[in-house]
Amino acid sequence: MQPKVTKITGLKEKISTAAILSNPDKLSLSFLAENEISYVKKKLEKENECVVYKYPEILFFGKIRDTNETHLRLQAARLAGSKLFDTLKSEKTESVQLLNFCEPELMLAFLEGLLLSGYSFSKYKKEKDDFTLKEVFIFDKETTPEQTNELLNLTQAVFFARDLVNEPLSFLTATQFSEEMEKLGEEAGFSVEVFNKQKIQSLKMGGLIAVNKGSIDPPTFNILEWKPENATNKKPVIIVGKGVVYDTGGLSLKPTPKSMDYMKSDMAGAATVVSTLYAAAKNNLPVYLVGLIPATDNRPDGNAYVPGDVITMFDGTTVEIKNTDAEGRLILADALSYAKKYSPELVIDVATLTGAAEIVAGSHGIVGMGNTKEKMEKLKEAGEETYERIVEVPLWEEFGKPLKSAIADLNNLGSREAQSTIAGKFLEHFTSYDWIHLDSAGVSFLFEKDGYRPAGGTGLGVRLLYNFLKKFN
């Protein structure tokens, strides 16, 4: 549950207070004694945070690093907000007022880090995480209620993405995933159309059909649309998300249990797509958006597709299967081909596509590539601002050579080297428009908490895409 955020014109008494500042020497607050001010200044000389306990209230101070790079200061403010949340939780403090002694935009980042840290997934726990931050008061003349409301909606969208990633396959089958999309669409105001297995077969979406062959659960193909009357673009921006709700690797079984035990997160790209549309609709973003989500699990049943098979994709391309664990690119390819019917202005696909992406960027960034330099630069700028950063790699023609097949138009694996780029090169074959591919394999699921990113599903990508779309055109 999100806290109530209220703007105030005067500081409240007998309530915990938190402030961010760049220069501790300028610290002067009426409710601090001289010895307390001296203590805070001395502590902040060596550390980035300082807490003064004046029970039952606490006073929190976050020092923002002095740098000319705005994105680093924004991130420092978010991390200070995350530290504040941890402190409030440990003290079971449910209300706090925020002050800003830095440039105006850092207050929203401070609040963002605080809000993003308030997530927990306790659905299946007998003992719930029962701490809830109930009230946040903003003492800052530059921050508006409209800005805080927008941020609350965006944070809720990130939480939905995290929830979807954290759900196990025992609940989140492809059909259940579609039902969750419909619920979010109804709540936020965007439309959802679901193609069932029969419709998918009639459309001859060969990639999605093949990957689903080993499953006892049917696939779905989901079309999400947000088309406000004041949209600034006539042709849609399309976001495509990989919706593999669980990936065993198929008959090319993943080599170790550890490499499979978090594969419920293989639909994180799809979770990012539906949550981005949720945020856009809730905040009435004037951008015409379409989301395309092919959804299935990938399992090794007796009827599963096998290495050596040749399948025919939605656009007629034939693909020789070299590895059934390279399944994400197959279902994405059908969706990318389907996107052509919209004559889109831009298509962005988001997918936990390759382990190689994690080798390139670790848990610190998304691997990106595409055919539109201008839009990629704007997306990278949005990544810096939100600290959901993109490492761009090239799509040289040499990367396409390993994808040649002796018996089909393409094979689905290529070579071991540069696998994240080769996977992107495979997808490029199915595009005929401005297109960007984002491989989020290293950032969508964490095993340990990292600041305001929790262990489990991170929801990373929602804030990036929202920030980009907000400035689109």
Active site annotation includes 254: yes
C-alpha of 85 from chain center: 21
The letter for the amino acid at 356 is A
Q: Looking at 47-206, which runs of residues are DSSP E strands?
A: 49-54, 57-63, 95-101, 135-139, 191-195
DSSP 353: -
What b-and-e string marks burial along 240-270, b requiring 16 or more CB atoms within 10 Å of the CB? bbbbbbbbbbbbbebeeeeeeeebbbbbbbb
Active site annotation includes 329: yes
Nearest to 200 by CA among 334, 318, 342, 299: 334
Q: Which of 63, 78, 322, 329 is catalytic?
A: 329
**Burial (CB count <10 Å: 0-12, 13-18, 19+), residue 67:** exposed
Q: Please confirm whether the linkage preceding 218 is cis (ω < 30° from 0).
A: no
Determine the straight-line distance between the first and last CA of the chain, rounded to whole angstroms. Answer: 34
φ/ψ bin of 92: left (φ > 0), alpha (ψ from -120 to 50), beta (otherwise): left
Residues 6+ apart with CB under 8 A from 146: none
Radius of gyration of the chain (CA): 24
What b-and-e string marks burial along 393-432, b requiring 16 or more CB atoms within 10 Å of the CB? bebeeebbebbebeebbbbbbbeeebbbbbbbbbbbbbbe
Q: Which of 7, 254, 340, 378 is catalytic?
A: 254
Residues belonging to the active site: 254, 329
